[in-house]
Copies of this chain bind each other. A is one copy, B any other.
Amino acid sequence: MTPSSASTAQASNNDFYAAHDKLYVATDCIIFGFDDGDLKLLIFKRRVEPDSGIWSLIGSFVKIDEDVDEAARRVLKEITGLEEIYLEQSKTYGKAERDPGYRCISVAHYALMRINDHDRELTQSHGAFWYTLQELPQLALDHQDMVRDALDKLRRRARYQPIGFELLPEKFTIPQLQKLYESIYQRELDPRNFRKKVLSLKVLVKLDEKDKSGSKRGAYLYRFDSEKYQELLESGYNFEI
């Protein structure tokens, strides 16, 4: 915080804090996954009022002694069993009336995960399911806005930082990578130009292995070389897709 409002600056320090309001602070997670050629969101059926029974994002209150991003990681672990998930703060939703139950602000975070990695039974036991953006049902409260804003941020960021790889398995083919970007940006890309571009970035390592799940002929697998990426960054390189 910054207890520095000019109008209260003269108050003694104890009064200064005591004279102010405390609010509930929550975090909600927009969890993106990629599977079957589609970008998906993990959502679940809300079990508390208001909007009980409505689909919603996964969230939790922030505890008094807990970092806000720690709260988001706690939620992610509870629902997916995973600890090492890519997590970014998205935006804070602070309208006084946003939650009719109580005054509560929410710091939204978006997470990127490999769908196969996580414990499907765990998510299902929480009533959580993966939905494509197209199939997404109406969501509780202002969660629709949260999804829209997070998607917007994901799109911007994916263009300049190699975060797409967080959504793919360690080993992936160029056509899979292309499908990922197509589903993030919801438009088709030219396979020749796409391949040329990503390979020109010099951060993909071609493996001696093929993935035959997508075609009879099979496609070569690649992996993202994060050491190489770090090196290049230090010598003033710009990732851009």
Q: Are B4 and A59 in contact (CB under 8 A)?
A: yes
Q: Are A3 and B94 in contact (CB under 8 A)?
A: no
Is A3 a contact partner of B48 (Cβ separation < 8 A)? yes
Chain B residue with Cβ nearest A128: B6
Copies of this chain present in the complex amount to: 2
On whether the beta carbons of B2 and A140 are closer than 8 Å, the reply is: yes
Q: Please, which residues of chain B bring their CB within 8 A of the CB of A8?
A: 60
- Contact, CB under 8 Å: A23 / B64: yes
Q: How many A residues face the partner with a CB closer than 8 A?
A: 64
* A94 vs B65: C-alpha distance when bound (angstroms): 10
A68 touches B6 (CB 8 A): no
**A2 and B78 contacting across the interface, CB-CB below 8 Å:** no
Knowing A22-B23, A49-B13, A105-B25 are in contact, say whether A5-B60 is a contact too (CB < 8 A).
yes
Pairwise interchain contact A61-B21, C-beta atoms closer than 8 A = yes
29 A-B pairs with C-beta separation under 8 A:
A1-B26, A1-B59, A1-B99, A1-B104, A2-B57, A2-B58, A2-B106, A2-B141, A3-B104, A4-B44, A4-B48, A4-B58, A6-B58, A7-B78, A8-B60, A13-B48, A13-B101, A16-B48, A17-B102, A21-B62, A22-B23, A23-B25, A23-B64, A25-B105, A65-B103, A89-B92, A92-B92, A92-B107, A94-B107
